[in-house]
């Protein structure tokens, strides 16, 4: 082979691989900003915005008649409920009860936050939070309902957990803002996740593969999703689906009030949009309770005091002020 053709061959090989990798980067890699490190942009939640007793935090103020001074229950919870339990600490707990390893807040470690062991506020999110409540390192966990595995873990450890519903939240499905589909029925969504519908054209959209995205097993939204699917089995999607147009799920306030990503939109379900009003009046079809969870054998006398307060008019007002939906009508 002539030298010119030899060089051309080598350049061609490099160009083919470069083009392939560039295509994969555009379609996938650039979208995979992770949330397993506090140093990345797409954290599950920006905890720094919800630090109690800190200037500039986004927590609501309330004239609370309950003020705890000692035996403070340690509060922990899911990402979506950080604003709720941080607001409780902000309005009911004394200043100085939230402490950090090294003295000041930092979110630059593996899990993102550096709450000290004795801090009244922790953030372990759902999966580690359930372990913490069972193991006794947290007093009250603010979470969606438990998965079967989480219930089983508590049983295996011989721990009885008490689940107290303290608020309501809509379970929502969302797509990219450019996806022309705005509304689906619950049945259509079940069929999408069962892999019976594989193309958006089958549900009134464009001719593009559907990529039904699920979440981490044991997370609050995945558990709620499995409850939504009921007896319908989740189907196996084609490996090519990852290149298609996705549908995902979450809780309304996490989407709308915390992450606030304008590049995605929530879908109406059975023609009802998941607004706070539609969740409370019961017209939105998938409403989940969220809970304050504690060990039945926990002897901290302030736990029932705090739970009663959360269910009172003041507590429910605080839940509403954080953007969630109260249990009972005013």
Partner 1 sequence: MKSRTFYILLFSVLGLCLALTVAHFLYVIYAYQHCSIIYFIGKELWL
Q: Which residues are near partner 1 by CB under 8 A?
A: 1, 3, 6, 9-10, 13-14, 17, 20-21, 24-36, 42, 44, 174-179, 213, 215, 242, 245-248, 250, 255, 259, 261, 263-264
Cβ 9 to partner 1 shortest distance, Å = 6
Q: Are 145 and 292 in contact (CB under 8 A)?
A: no
Residues forming a β-bridge with 291: 143, 165
Cβ 149 to partner 1 shortest distance, Å = 18
Q: Are 241 and 214 in contact (CB under 8 A)?
A: no
Cβ 115 to partner 1 shortest distance, Å = 22
CB closer to partner 1, 29 vs 152: 29
Residues forming a β-bridge with 75: 121, 140
Distance CA 191, CA 197 (A): 6
Q: Are 43 and 80 in contact (CB under 8 A)?
A: no
Q: Quote the distance between the C-alpha of residue 250 and its chain's center.
A: 6
Cβ 258 to partner 1 shortest distance, Å = 10
Structure tokens that stand for 47 in this block: 């905890």
CB closer to partner 1, 99 vs 214: 214
CB closer to partner 1, 263 vs 296: 263
CB closer to partner 1, 25 vs 201: 25
Q: Are 143 and 82 in contact (CB under 8 A)?
A: no
CB closer to partner 1, 33 vs 271: 33
Distance CA 250, CA 78 (A): 12
Hey, CA dihedral for 178, 322, 128, 289, is it positive or negative? negative
Cβ 80 to partner 1 shortest distance, Å = 12
Phi and psi (nearest 5°) for 170? -85, 140
Q: Are 167 and 325 in contact (CB under 8 A)?
A: yes
226 CB-side CA count, 13 A: 14
Rg (CA), the chain: 23
If DSSP codes are grouped into helix, strand and coil, which group holds residue 307?
A: helix
CB closer to partner 1, 35 vs 57: 35
Structure tokens that stand for 293 in this block: 């969870």
CB closer to partner 1, 250 vs 316: 250
Cβ 41 to partner 1 shortest distance, Å = 8
Cβ 49 to partner 1 shortest distance, Å = 17
CB closer to partner 1, 16 vs 71: 16
296 DSSP assignment: T
Cβ 261 to partner 1 shortest distance, Å = 5
Beta-strand relationship, 140-144 and 287-295? antiparallel
């Amino acid at each position: 082979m002539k030298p010119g053709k030899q060089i051309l061959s080598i350049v061609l090989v490099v160009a083919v691989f470069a083009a392939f990798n560039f295509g994969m980067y555009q379609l996938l890699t650039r979208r995979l900003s992770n949330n397993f490190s506090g140093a990345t942009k797409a954290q599950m939640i920006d905890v720094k915005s919800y630090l109690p007793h800190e200037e500039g935090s986004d927590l609501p103020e309330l004239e609370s008649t309950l003020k705890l001074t000692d035996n403070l229950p340690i509060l922990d919870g899911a990402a979506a409920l950080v604003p709720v339990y941080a607001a409780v600490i902000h309005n009911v707990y004394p200043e100085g009860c939230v402490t950090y390893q090294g003295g000041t807040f930092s979110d630059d470690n593996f899990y993102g936050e550096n709450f000290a062991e004795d801090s009244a506020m922790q953030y372990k999110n759902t999966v580690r939070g359930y372990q913490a409540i069972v193991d006794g390192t947290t007093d009250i966990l603010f979470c969606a309902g438990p998965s079967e595995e989480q219930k089983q873990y508590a049983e295996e450890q011989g721990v009885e957990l008490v689940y107290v519903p303290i608020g309501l939240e809509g379970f929502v499905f969302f797509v990219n803002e450019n996806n022309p589909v705005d509304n689906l029925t619950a049945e259509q969504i079940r069929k999408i996740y069962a892999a019976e519908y594989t193309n958006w054209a089958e549900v009134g959209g464009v001719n593009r593969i559907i990529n039904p995205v699920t979440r981490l097993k044991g997370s609050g939204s995945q558990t709620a999703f499995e409850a939504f699917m009921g007896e319908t089995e989740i189907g196996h999607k084609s490996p090519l689906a990852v290149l298609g147009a996705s549908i995902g799920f979450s809780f309304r306030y996490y989407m709308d009030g915390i992450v606030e990503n304008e590049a995605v939109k929530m879908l109406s379900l059975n023609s009802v949009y998941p607004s706070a009003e539609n969740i409370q009046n019961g017209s939105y079809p998938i409403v989940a309770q969220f809970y304050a969870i504690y060990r039945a054998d926990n002897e901290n006398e302030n736990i029932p005091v705090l739970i009663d307060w959360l269910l009172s008019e003041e507590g429910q007002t605080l839940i509403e002020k954080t953007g969630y939906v109260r249990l009972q009508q005013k």
